Amino acid sequence: MEEVLKFDEIKSDDGFFLPNHETFSKKILWKKDPNEPVQIYKLKTVTYGATPACYLSTLVLKQLAMDEKDNFPIAGNAVLQDVYLDDIITGYSSIQEFELLKIELILLFKSPGMSLHKWCFSHANSESPDLNFNQLSDETVTTLVFLWNSSSYTFCFNVSLPTNSIFTKRDVLSQTARPSDPLGLLRPIIKNPERIALLGFADASEKGFAAVVYVPIQAKNGNKNWHLLCSKSRVAPLKTLSILRLEISACFLLSKLEEEVPFRCLNERAVTRVVVFYASD
């Protein structure tokens, strides 16, 4: 798949009609004038926003694609596989495939009185005279729950932060959980890391011994930097000890530090690798 095609908002001029024996459950109270008596109306179509509306709309689209799959095979497969609610997000390998898909989708939805609009595609060639459709003026369009920039092939999230300068823990958790992320694109940012490697060093001198633990942070360009996470040191005892004995004490101190770090500073299950270094003369 080289290019991406998006159709937004599948519309029907008359809506999806309900059978007569089911309209009794779709009654509303209405009056045009406050002085008139209240009248009872039956809704004959699927009401937008009702609980079964999404299910019924998806069911109708699926049944339409199955019934017309022989006449419109490309459009039928796109509807069966690439439809979510009122969006069609599919792909094509060439302009010729796009032209055929566009024509079949228009004819497929035109047969029951439905229409497609807000077309958007990611092809870089905008001078093609054969692409006669209503393309969106904005490069960034709403795709399901996030924004899609068709020119740069990037997904964006619209996050609005409150203007108050003081943030509480509840505010941070609320803002973190608010963006909808079905693909998990924000998971490395808003959730605890799943894999953590720890790097520990231990060394000693005549005056004392110490242990340090570093954690890696990988940048966007792939470079990995190691940052100090925690450390612990001890003063050498008054009784003179050999350097080797102090180095062994440093290794023991590092082992205790490596045991405490996953419990106190990091997610215990996320620590998957521990590397330890020590120096000895």
pLDDT digits (tens, 9 = 90+) for 123-162: 555 443 333 333 444 555 555 566 766 666 677 777 777 6
pLDDT of residue 128: 37
pLDDT in tens, 231-246: 899 998 888 888 888 9
To 10 degrees, what angle do helices 95-110 and 53-67 make?
A: 110
- Residues of the chain with pLDDT > 70: what percent? 65
Residue 12: exposure state from Cβ atoms within 10 A (0-12, 13-18, ≥19): middle
pLDDT of residue 13: 44
Tokens of 192: 């605890």
HSE-up (13 A, CA, CB side) for residue 6: 24
* Calpha distance 42→201 (Å, rounded): 76
Closest CA to 26 of 15, 13, 36: 15
Contact 182, 145 (CB under 8 A): yes
Task: Classify each residue of 93-132 as buried b or exposed e, where b means 16 or more C-beta atoms within 10 Å of its C-beta.
Answer: eeeeebeebbebbbebbeeeebebebbbbbbeeeeeeebe
pLDDT of residue 66: 92
* Calpha distance 155→178 (Å, rounded): 17
* Calpha distance 143→182 (Å, rounded): 12
pLDDT in tens, 96-130: 887 888 888 888 888 887 777 666 666 555 443 33
Contact 108, 75 (CB under 8 A): yes
pLDDT of residue 235: 92
Backbone angles phi and psi of 232, in degrees to 5: -155, 140
pLDDT of residue 129: 34
pLDDT of residue 208: 92
pLDDT of residue 137: 42
pLDDT of residue 198: 80
pLDDT of residue 7: 62
Low-confidence residues in the chain, pLDDT < 70: 1-15, 48-49, 85-86, 117-146, 148-153, 162, 164-165, 182-183, 187-195, 218-221, 262-273, 277-281
* Calpha distance 116→12 (Å, rounded): 9
